[in-house]
Amino acid sequence: MRRHFLCFTFFLVSIFVQAQKPDSTYYTSATRTQNLLGVNENSKAKDTTLDNTHNYYQTGVLGNMGLPSYSLIAEQQKHTSAAFFSWQKLNNRSDLITEDDPMYFHTEKIYTKITAAVGQKQEQFLKLVHSQNIKKKVNVSLLFNRYSCTGFYLQQQSLTTNILLSSNYKTDNGRWGYGAYYLFNKLKYQLNGGVNDSLVGSLAYPASNLIPTNFTSTTAKQLIKTSAMSFNTFFRLNATDSGVSSPSHYLVYETNYQSNYLLYVDGVSDTIGGSKKTYLNQVTGSHDSTGTRIFSNSLLYKFNAVNNKFIFYGGYKLEAIKYHQHRLDTVGLNNIIKGGFILQANKHTLNATADYVVSGLNKNNYEIDGNYRFTIKDYFYISAQAQVQSRLPDFNLLMYNGNRFSWTNNFSAVQTQNATLSITNRKYKFYLGAFIQQQQNQIYFNTEALPTQYNGSTTITRLFAGKDLKLAHIHFNNNINYQTTPNTNIIRLPNWVTTHQLYYEGKLFKNNLWLQVGFQARYISSFMANAYMPATNQFYLQNEKSYGNYVFIDFFISAQIKPVKFFIMAQHINQGFMGYNYILTPNYPMPDRSFKAGLSWMLFN
């Protein structure tokens, strides 16, 4: 299988390399909101760094790529969709392309980037990015991810597929244009219910795949499928765009469709939660599914001031929703008003967006996002972000009727306030900042794995800093996060999460080979880690044991020859030498020592 994967990868490379010319293009991307405001998020194709070539994927907390995970760092969370109606709190954010990710791309010429990697336990990773203009006007782009791994323990196999197709166009005079995309995600993985922590490293079980799992059947699995389609078009009302002498007025129309589906299957003997009073033992096992379909239309007015120093938009959105669950269906509408602006003056940039549900299923929900940036120099800037929102709980938190769990709740809306302030100096490779989040009526999963609402206020604060040090050819890169909360009975995160890299970097063979050789370490301090409930795909509180206080150490060699980067890595080389407490979720050990190799090839035309 691995041999076939490598052959396919190099076959793709051979298709594009024949047309390759010197790297004379660049590649930019933009989210839906950035595209509406005329802001591009630059990402130059001519990459000037080797840093983190080997870190193509960060394994989550359950020990295998593609399995459910959650961030161990407090940060502002993006929505799983643009809708106010949420269908499921997904724990696979890093494995999904969502509508909050860049949708529209621009390039002067053909741009293609292929990243491929293989590792032990049949790990296979492929990422393809391709963007080009047809007749120099219509851009078409493709993003494709596919990766899989059997895992070190039994019944851990996962398979992830992400596809994004997009296109955008604007006439020469800028009076009319469109943007369109289609995205699809499919996450399929086995569930083993975890293993006994005390057996990890035991002489009785010398190999990881010999340790018995909590699920005795081989039928337990999760399947997540999400898809979305969007088409938006704009028309400038004034015939000419004088630019410097008068403003412009636009009408913008957008239509969107989303479909989300989650399936959970287990066997009659899979009773991981048997000790919990709320866990329902079924005679026939489980076959639970939930999902939504959301269709929306938006009509906006957009105003561009002279020289685009000020851009404003506002309008109306109608959202139709259908939610389905076993023996339960819900339909509804949301009437939403939208607005936003961007203001640019000298070295200052301020932009904000706001959405408010005036009537419908999620009446009085709102969200306001603001971003400010002060550019001291091209490489030195201060930035601040703030977000305020009020959202009714996800529907599955209010009512759920599955084979293993069933509940009905009357939760209040959750209010959330996020703020981030940071200082960045790219020239000296330094940044420093703080993040704070406050929530009222926070919802969490208690020790019985049931959703519970805290009728009070919770706060979490994170301080972060990074600095890359250099002495001759020796580099020492550091990223440090310290986070604290007075609400440890609800919020369970490690106080310290730090990463460090120590390596040699140099250019050899008449500067034709760019080489990095060194080590990286990731430290996570001790904390009362959340447990995982497969039947609901949620992480919940446990008070039995602390985890963490462990350093994961990797050795890597990364190199670049012109447009080709490649690496080899020995991951978790200290496994077994620093104890066997390399567990970040109860009963789910992180991967053992393994070896990986891969390449990244950028192709230009």
Domains and CATH numbers, the chain: 2-604 (2.40.170.20)
C-beta separation of 393 from 407 below 8 A: no
DSSP 3-state of 515: strand
Q: How many whole angstroms separate alpha carbon 449 and alpha carbon 540?
A: 5
Count Cα neighbours of 544 within 13 Å in the Cβ-side half-sphere: 10
CA atoms within 13 A on the CB side of 144: 12
Q: How many helices (H) and strands (E) does the chain have?
A: 3, 33
**Separation of alpha carbons 403 and 141, rounded Å:** 42
- The mean pLDDT value of the chain amounts to 88
| Residue 491 scores a pLDDT above 50 | yes
| pLDDT, position 1 | 46
Q: Which residues pair with 496 in a beta bridge?
A: 482
Distance CA 419, CA 421 (A): 7
Q: Supply the pLDDT for residue 81.
A: 44
What letter does residue 75 receive in the DSSP assignment? -
Cα Rg for the chain, rounded, in angstroms? 25
> Bridge partners of 547?
527
Please give the single-letter amino acid code of residue 602: M
The answer, yes or no, to whether residue 20 has pLDDT greater than 50, is no
Average pLDDT in the 450-468 region?
96
The runs of H, that is alpha helices, within 18-120 are: 32-37
Determine whether 510 is exposed, middle or buried from the number of CB atoms within 10 Å of its CB (0-12, 13-18, 19+): exposed
Angle at 68 between CA 433 and CA 99, to 5 degrees: 65
Mean pLDDT across 86-98: 69
Strands (E), 454-563: 457-471, 474-484, 496-508, 513-524, 531-533, 538-540, 550-561
The CA distance from 468 to 548, in Å, is 26
Q: Where does residue 186 rank: exposed (0-12), middle (13-18), buried (19+ CB within 10 A)?
A: middle
Distance CA 353, CA 317 (A): 14
Distance between CA 130 and CA 431 in Å, rounded?
32
Note whether 534 and 512 are within 8 A (CB).
no
Reported as a single tens digit per residue, the pLDDT across 98-124 is: 888 888 888 888 899 999 999 999 999
Asked whether the predicted pLDDT for residue 75 surpasses 70, the reply is: yes
Residue type, 560: Q
Q: Flag whether pLDDT at 549 surpasses 50.
A: yes
Q: Please check the confidence at residue 28 and state whether its pLDDT lies above 90.
A: no
Confidence band for 5, pLDDT divided at 50, 70 and 90: very low
